[in-house]
Amino acid sequence: MPFKTERNLRLGLEGLRASANLVQAGVLLAALAVLLVLASWPAIGAVGILLAALAVAVIVGLALYLPPWAVVRLYGAQQHDRAALKQVDALVAELAQRAALARSPTLYVVPSTMLGAFSVGTEHGSAIAVTEGLLRRLTMREIAAVLAREISHVSLGNLPVLGIADFVTRFAQALYYFGLALAALNLWRLLTGEELVSWWTVVLLVLAPALLNLLQLKLPRTREFAADRAAALMTGDPMGLASAIARLEAPNGNFWDDLLPPVPARKVPQPSMLRCPPPAEQRIARLHALNPPPMPPLDIEEGPRISLIGVGPIQMRPRYRWSGVWF
């Protein structure tokens, strides 16, 4: 039956997005569980099913209930200087109001020269982390578009599935290191004549990040187009977002860095591959085709921006963090 009102249409689309997010989260968790069962079966048999169930429960619990401030701290994010970012704070508050969020996201700054931003939490409590490089190098108009896009992820209910993908990625990286340790143990046991750990287990653990990241790349990323559209409507400035997307497209590595071992060689700044957006040219083309939005444009004034946290060049250089991401 066709929707009779715009409100019904909007509610129907939100329901479809929620269902798609639920399916994708289920696929990722099921894939991780299957990988754990297959890897552990030679050693512990059916007990591996309990181990996989426990791992899935822990990941879901962390993704849904870990406070946003604790997640962004994994990336070295710090509370920002409110005096230096007064206009950015005002933009976050206004965008949150336009998105009808119950609470405005808390802003954090990552001391890094990379261009990056991501959001974590839920619509009831969220945080946005932006790099100092982004705040230094983008115009305020582009910064507003990036913030709007992250807030749109909050309002569209995308953060739970993205959080699950983030923790699945970190767990897979831990499996990778465990697999390397077992490989080293096998080499030692070859010398001592002891019984070897199954090489099947070792191979699956070492390949865990590549397999799960490849799965994430295969899942539909229509939420990214929806986030672009929502951000453009929210700011009333589709071309501001198009300009930001073109600037952010500068390579910080590519997805092959996240598929091929060793894991520490990766240079993809996103917490997980599920956050990797479609090609920039596709996103920009859609924004150019977007009808002029009814929302009035934001009141944005460009101004000089200096070092925002006061960290030095050594701390600000892009580097791999133990939490599993370059920033």
pLDDT tens digits for range 97-121: 999 898 999 999 988 888 889 999 9
Q: 137 by DSSP, 3-state: which? A: helix
Banded pLDDT at 8 (limits 50, 70, 90): very low
Residue 6 backbone zone (phi > 0: left; psi -120 to 50: alpha; other: beta): alpha
* CA distances, 272 to each of 26, 100, 168, 175 (Å): 16, 27, 8, 16
pLDDT digits (tens, 9 = 90+) for 13-49: 454 567 888 899 999 999 999 999 999 999 999 999 9
**DSSP one-letter string for 225-268:** HHHHHHHHHHHT-HHHHHHHHHHHTS-S--GGGGTSSPGGG---
**What rounded mean pLDDT belongs to the chain?**
82
In this predicted structure, the answer to whether residue 280 has a pLDDT above a threshold of 70 is yes
Please tell me the least confidently modeled range out of 55-64, 127-136, 317-326: 317-326
pLDDT digits (tens, 9 = 90+) for 197-251: 999 999 999 999 889 988 998 888 888 999 999 999 899 899 999 999 998 865 4
pLDDT digits (tens, 9 = 90+) for 75-91: 788 887 676 788 888 89
Q: 50 by DSSP, 3-state: which? A: helix
Pairing mode of beta strands 320-321, 78-79: unpaired
Banded pLDDT at 296 (limits 50, 70, 90): confident
Handedness of CA 254, 255, 260, 266 (dihedral sign): positive
Please tell me the least confidently modeled range out of 40-44, 46-50, 147-151, 305-309: 305-309
The pLDDT, as a whole number, for residue 196 is 92
More confident residue, 309 or 33: 33
